[in-house]
Chains A and B, each alone.
Chain A
Amino acid sequence: MAHTLLIVDDSKVSRMMIKNKVSQLQPGWTVLEAGTGDEAVAMVRATPPDFITMDVNMPGINGFEAVAQIRQFNSTSKIAMLTANIQESSRVKASDLNVTFVQKPATEPAIRQAIDYFLAAA
């Protein structure tokens, strides 16, 4: 089934890595990109994607703040925090926001973990 995924990450390299792996694993998916949390909030408000991978450490609002804003008007997009910030406190924040947590780097197992979560929850 065709789904739409929004990749939110300030690193262009990370977005490329995630996009390439998703395209290999799920070639039918439409992949969109945002470079900041603010941009992501605007994109989700305009057209909610099915799934979102969200970095944490970005210029402007961070990934957790972006998720909190998104959840004020959208409860359907499934979200995976995909981040290098792997402190226990970050995992707790993700859990509090009811989103899953995937550790960078964006290797194939990491992307597969996010996809499995998206499809299990879809």
Chain B
Amino acid sequence: MGLSVPHVEMVTKLGVSDALTGQGADRICAVRQEFSGVLNTEAVLMFPVQQSLQLVQMMVGDDVPLEQLGEMEQEALAEIGNILLNSVVSGVADVLKLRFEGSLPCVELGPVQDVLCAQGQMTDQVLSVQIDFAIDALQIQGYLVFLLDVASVASLKATVQQFLGTLS
């Protein structure tokens, strides 16, 4: 499986919602996981709900019998989210010399706005990372959003500045 990060930006939740809805994803599958450390964030991985079973099938292959796939879909999605979210967060942690403790992943299915707006407002800024999961000929596009509070946005900016300072 190839994983690319084509686009990273600070946008409003509304912007993320519009992008997902623009792909025809009125209902999404989301995997949430909290990470705490120098900065605290909730990472939310989202992709169109109609692609979730495909993603599960691709990950588990023949390891889970087809007749059990439906009942185990949510657990498989939690595991997929756990792997992808940790992969991204671990990369950030190692580059910025930080350490995060992660919570257990949880899965939600529902309209984009309900998932994104469990807390706060749709006008809140989030750090959005648009990810393409490229698996052979199949392309599944997902969004990873980091929900950061004001203090954590400031911490992130300071840490990135510090990191950039080490490069010069």
- What residues of B have a CB within 8 angstroms of the CB of A12 in the complex? 72, 75
Say yes or no: is A17 at the interface (Cβ < 8 Å to chain B).
Answer: yes
Cα-based distance from A11 to B78 in the complex (angstroms): 8
CA distance A10 to B83 in the complex (A): 14
B93 touching A89, Cβ below 8 Å:
yes
Q: List chain A residues, Cβ under 8 A from B83.
A: 84, 104-105
In the complex, what residues of A have CB within 8 A of residue B78's CB? 11
A87 touches B90 (CB 8 A): yes
CB contacts (< 8 Å) of A96 on chain B: these are: none
B15 within 8 A of A: no
| Residue from B59, B72, B79 having most chain A Cβ neighbours under 10 A | B79
Closest to B97 in A: A88
Number of interface residues of B (CB under 8 A): 22
Nearest A residue (CB) for B1: A105
Given A13-B79, A14-B79, A105-B59 in contact, is the A88-B94 Cβ separation under 8 Å?
Answer: yes
Asked whether B64 lies within 8 Å of A86 as measured between CB atoms, the reply is no
Min CB distance B73 to A, Å, is: 9
A4 lies within 8 A of chain B by Cβ: no
Give residues 51-86 of A contacting B (CB, 8 Å): 57-59, 84-86
Look across to chain B and name the residue whose beta carbon is closest to the beta carbon of A83. Answer: B86
A16 CB–B CB distance under 8 Å? yes
Partner of A16, one of B64, B93, B94, B99: B64
Closest 8 interchain pairs by CB? A84-B86, A20-B63, A17-B63, A84-B83, A87-B90, A86-B90, A89-B99, A13-B76
> A residues near B, CB below 8 A?
10-14, 16-17, 20-21, 57-59, 84-90, 104-105
